[in-house]
Structure 1
């Protein structure tokens, strides 16, 4: 069968050429710049749009008018504007102090002492952190409201009038501080866990008591990490929206985030004034985050975890043990049981009243039937799940490749990916929502009024978290595995797909779970992106409560909490089986 081999050789050369061309088109450098372009399209336009809007007037239909600096002039000269900035600073400072006192004290009790209930405290903190902020704010309004249990008890037992004004700056500080306490607990617990206990042992052997050991040894060692945590909590409180909107606005207390929101709700909208506040807030957040990063880098001088090993040790509290245990259970009661319990109570009432003020025979499940029978609310549940799944998936896909380019290659320009991925850190949620909505109203892309504008905004917002998880995962993967693949002739793309990606899956799964959970409870962006046809659960609950439908909003909140609990339980089982660690 003397068949010539020339046609086969020719065919092979013809097919090899397109493969070579495809390989050149998909070279690591080109793919890296494609990912960078996607990052830039997601993060830069909202930022530029906000800055642009702050420098222009706004016409009667909300479009940019003429160039002006009056928006900044009004911001820095009008008394009302300065009060807004002052309220923001007082809220952030007060909430930070309260969060550090509560979270820091409980972190020390749990990590460094022999108090009882330490495991319960950890679980309570995680549950409180997972609870949507809008639900937490609503619960405390019910607790501290004119007809709430606190004021009712003051009237009944002490004959006093209204002792707590729920819509005030002190209550805003109190609720925001409790909201931030779980985050302070988790961050400070990590600092305390890595502190060498031999230093405290030496203090106690030398005759120092618990109080002196805490003030002279433990506190100074925790100070650098504590300052960094304090700045992060301050930033989080400065850009908070849920508590200021639900607690502050009804009482006429406005902060920068709610001033931005109010500016977009006017007719015509005041995008210029909102943009000026947004730029000021972004600058403040950027400066604080830069200072926090610098403090963290300089904290190496205080390192106590070194090459030598140390054994875990807990301080014996002695007669103080009962007090520490009582503090743990007090937080569990006040920070978790009371808000959730009152939410459940309000959900079965025909009208809201404090416990003991309404006959139990009037309890009803009608609110649940009403909530679950509304197509709009059911649609918001579907939208929330779909947006969460899409956001988490896209974030993981983008940051898996971006993290690998940054950590594992020497391509020129890879720093661009890291910088673009970090931009959203300085853009609070309310500002991201403002920038995305304003940008897509100007461009001929029909995403405004659809769920896809949520996905675009959420992906941009949560890119830094995906980069963090990916970077942490890549650090744990030895380079020798990739080097062996390259020595065997594997291309970079094949090495990434066959070697790196499977080993990176636990970190990506943790990132997916985290982004899915935080996207589901996001309100600050959603409130500016939603439309009547594209409601999400946070906005639906916000609207129900603001419209005075307290019992139905409570029922919807209970449904949300139960659904969130099921999701957390399922994802926790998956994470535990895959040995995935989820960090906030």
Structure 2
């Protein structure tokens, strides 16, 4: 295969996965009869949307929730990340592992776990007598639940930035007479701003694109979000494709505005370390602050990990919710039903595993080619290729789902993946493509072009250099990113709900439907299995990444 063929293949994949779904959303938003093959009534949906009384509430709810979660994640993740990055925290890797668990737990699972724990006569009321139901079903409660689930993105961004940059400049400031607080405020904190802004932006984006938590808690708290409004326009009769498309574009605009604001506030500032890789923490001793620091981490782990996970596992092991927490009410029946051939759980598990495996392979191969063409080959239009491959990071899952529905539900296609498992595979690949592109691109930048150039001087073609030199060197990053794609694909909810064919269930759809049908125990048993699989895969990915950095 020649280099030109690789370029054509890569561009074709990006067009199919990213560009075409977004294009069809724009066309459907402008032309309300586009799905019928007509261009009449151009721009009339804009006026209809402007007159929609729910538009203002949806937009305010989305922005308020996104900003609240971003701020809450910063307030929680920044001090924890600073402690982890600047000081010798006892059992530091154990705390890192605990902070990974909320990220691996789907937000809707966390929301359902909190409902079971805090509802009237819930687990908290049974054990302590406290009733926090009103707090949970409120805008503040939704923000708290999502913050406890999302804050690790800020924690890891801050702590890894400090571990990479070290404390050399702050130490120099201390030598020249600055106090510890002054050195932190004027040296360390400005160096942290790019990482902090990136973490807050990611928290904001993850919050505004979330569907499960607002759907589970929002109806009783009066909070309306764009994601829920889009799903209703597609689920309620009559189906409003143009309205869903316009709301999708509005949601993309909100996400891109966050990216623009981050660039305006931070600019092109970057942290550059001497080695280019995170180092083992050689930070200061906490001394008398060791116990307070450990208490802060312990309380955070209790709220973000122990309580929701305990609620999930407790529900999975209780025979009935009405029986309460008692010795004779514990059972393994729900787990047994999962692996029973009579149930749908085994099929949902196998479907999710196969789709996640396929997504990991496709995004891994596509990400490798994209990163190699952009970083190593430096194509003339590499910036466009890079932007297109990273665009899904700003596309909420519900937007990708709408785009794929509009794209592949057209009569002019000779064949279509719509109403098959292939449409789910396309959605997962679109959403998760940025993971391999970023990881492999970072690895390629660390390698530089010297080795490949040397191979070219000795007669190797570009493809031979890619196969025999580049691929073995970036393989740890490639494999780690593929494992992360696998773990995240197992938990994807919103595109699965929108696109799953009749009779097909994934793990997330199975859990969601079990709650709708009242089979809470079996749903939480499936959630427990999925969380364990995701945690094991993430640990494997982290182990591979750490070995590649040595």
TM-score by length of 2: 0.89
CA distance in 1 between counterparts of 2:433 and 2:315 reads 38
Q: Does 1:432 align with 2:432?
A: no
CA distance in 2 between counterparts of 1:211 and 1:285 reads 35
SS at 1:194 equivalent: helix
Structure-to-structure mapping, 1:505-544, within 5 angstroms: 505-544=475-514
Q: Contact between 1:192 and 1:222, CA under 8 Å: does it hold in 2?
A: yes
Q: In the TM superposition, what is the alpha-carbon distance from 1:215 to its structure 2 partner?
A: 5.0
Q: In the TM superposition, what is the alpha-carbon distance from 1:284 to its structure 2 partner?
A: 1.8
Q: Contact between 1:36 and 1:420, CA under 8 Å: does it hold in 2?
A: no
CA distance in 1 between counterparts of 2:135 and 2:197 reads 32
Q: Where does structure 1 lack aligned partners over 5 or more consecutive residues?
A: 1-25
CA distance in 2 between counterparts of 1:151 and 1:50 reads 47
Bigger shift: 111-120 or 469-478?
Answer: 111-120
Aligned to 1:197: 167
SS at 2:523 equivalent: helix
CA distance in 2 between counterparts of 1:150 and 1:215 reads 41
Bigger shift: 537-546 or 215-224?
Answer: 215-224
RMSD value over aligned CA atoms?
3.2
CA distance in 2 between counterparts of 1:198 and 1:495 reads 38
Bigger shift: 288-297 or 447-456?
Answer: 288-297
CA distance in 2 between counterparts of 1:30 and 1:455 reads 24
Structure 1 pair 204–505 and aligned structure 2 pair: CA distance change class (3 A): closer
Equivalent of residue 344 in structure 1, options 313, 317, 340: 313
CA distance in 1 between counterparts of 2:498 and 2:463 reads 40
Equivalent of residue 22 in structure 2, options 47, 53, 71: 47
CA distance in 2 between counterparts of 1:317 and 1:572 reads 27
Equivalent of residue 145 in structure 1, options 90, 101, 119: 119
Structure 1 pair 246–198 and aligned structure 2 pair: CA distance change class (3 A): same
Q: Does 1:100 align with 2:81?
A: no
Structure 1 pair 180–312 and aligned structure 2 pair: CA distance change class (3 A): closer
Q: Contact between 1:111 and 1:192, CA under 8 Å: does it hold in 2?
A: yes
Q: Contact between 2:421 and 2:501, CA under 8 Å: does it hold in 1?
A: no
Q: Does 1:399 align with 2:367?
A: yes
Q: In the TM superposition, what is the alpha-carbon distance from 1:326 to its structure 2 partner?
A: 0.4
TM-score by length of 1: 0.85
Q: Where does structure 2 lack aligned partners over 5 or more consecutive residues?
A: none
SS at 1:269 equivalent: coil
Q: Does 1:330 align with 2:305?
A: no
Q: Does 1:128 align with 2:107?
A: no
Q: In the TM superposition, what is the alpha-carbon distance from 1:246 to its structure 2 partner?
A: 2.0
Q: Does 1:32 align with 2:7?
A: yes
Aligned to 1:371: 338
Q: Does 1:485 align with 2:455?
A: yes
Q: In the TM superposition, what is the alpha-carbon distance from 1:151 to its structure 2 partner?
A: 4.5
CA distance in 2 between counterparts of 1:403 and 1:319 reads 47
The count of corresponding residues between Structure 1 and Structure 2 is: 546
Equivalent of residue 111 in structure 1, options 66, 85, 90: 85
CA distance in 1 between counterparts of 2:281 and 2:379 reads 43
Q: Contact between 1:58 and 1:269, CA under 8 Å: does it hold in 2?
A: no
Q: Contact between 1:167 and 1:251, CA under 8 Å: does it hold in 2?
A: yes
Structure-to-structure mapping, 1:305-324, within 5 angstroms: 305=273, 314-324=283-293
Q: In the TM superposition, what is the alpha-carbon distance from 1:304 to its structure 2 partner?
A: 7.8
Q: Contact between 1:232 and 1:292, CA under 8 Å: does it hold in 2?
A: no
Structure 1 pair 572–424 and aligned structure 2 pair: CA distance change class (3 A): closer
Structure-to-structure mapping, 1:434-453, within 5 angstroms: 434-442=402-410, 443-453=413-423
Bigger shift: 132-141 or 409-418?
Answer: 409-418
Q: Contact between 1:62 and 1:270, CA under 8 Å: does it hold in 2?
A: no
Structure 1 pair 423–196 and aligned structure 2 pair: CA distance change class (3 A): closer
Aligned to 1:463: 433
